A and B are shown apart, each in its own frame.
Chain A
Amino acid sequence: EELLLESGGGLVQPGESLRLSCAASRFTFSNYAMNWVRQAPGKGLEWVSVISGSGDRTFYADSVKGRFTISRDNSKNTLYLQMNSLRAEDTAVYYCAKGRELELLRISFDYWGHGTLVTVSS
């Protein structure tokens, strides 16, 4: 069974930066699009960003565009989310999620990590 393990969350002040990581194992990482999805405390799911398997295509939710950058290192089987200019409303558990089918970006997510909590507060 595929495994995804997020790290890098924590408490930061508004305006600061944070980089999340998602280590993948037990599947051919470079063959699949990867996503970040977040969930504010007690709220629903919000898609954040997607990156293609090769890393050459990236897309973002309007709420994070220009502040967040998704990237991946296929040699390390690791997905990243660089978050700059953080705001209180970015407070959430951040999940990485794997695209279900080879190379497709417009696809459901078959495996999710357990998430990492990001808290933005002064």
Chain B
Amino acid sequence: DIVMTQSPDSLAVSLGERATINCKSSQSVLYSPNNKNYLAWYQQKPGQPPKLLIYWASTRESGVPDRFSGSGSGTDFTLTISSLQAEDVAVYYCQQYYSNPPKCTFGQGTKLEIK
């Protein structure tokens, strides 16, 4: 199974500052035939289901503010929030959906708080 490891486990950032969350996969999730990284990012606020932010590692989902961006390829990925807002307090998860047969896995989550 592909293991997803996020860092840090928790993060405190001041309002308006940049927040960076890392995700590392135990094997590459880049599919060469279509040159796509099978990696997504989700945001989960307390008492709510996860919300898709980023897919194919760097494509922002419709309606997601442009302060959220995803980058990386192969085994190393980053979610960046360029200017932290109060409503961004949440737990963030990365997910790989590369495995075949299908068997996606999530990172352990990163809790983002306001400093």
Contact = CB atoms under 8 A, between A and B. Distances in A.
A binds B: yes
Interface of A: 35, 37, 44-47, 50, 59, 61-62, 95, 97, 100, 105-110, 112-115
Interface residues of B, number: 28
Contacts of A114: 48-49
27 contacts: A44-B107, A44-B108, A45-B42, A45-B44, A45-B95, A45-B106, A45-B109, A46-B106, A50-B104, A59-B101, A59-B103, A95-B50, A100-B55, A105-B102, A106-B98, A107-B97, A108-B55, A108-B97, A109-B50, A109-B52, A109-B95, A110-B55, A110-B61, A112-B49, A112-B51, A113-B49, A115-B49
B77 interface: no
Contact of B52 (A47, A62, A105, A110): A110
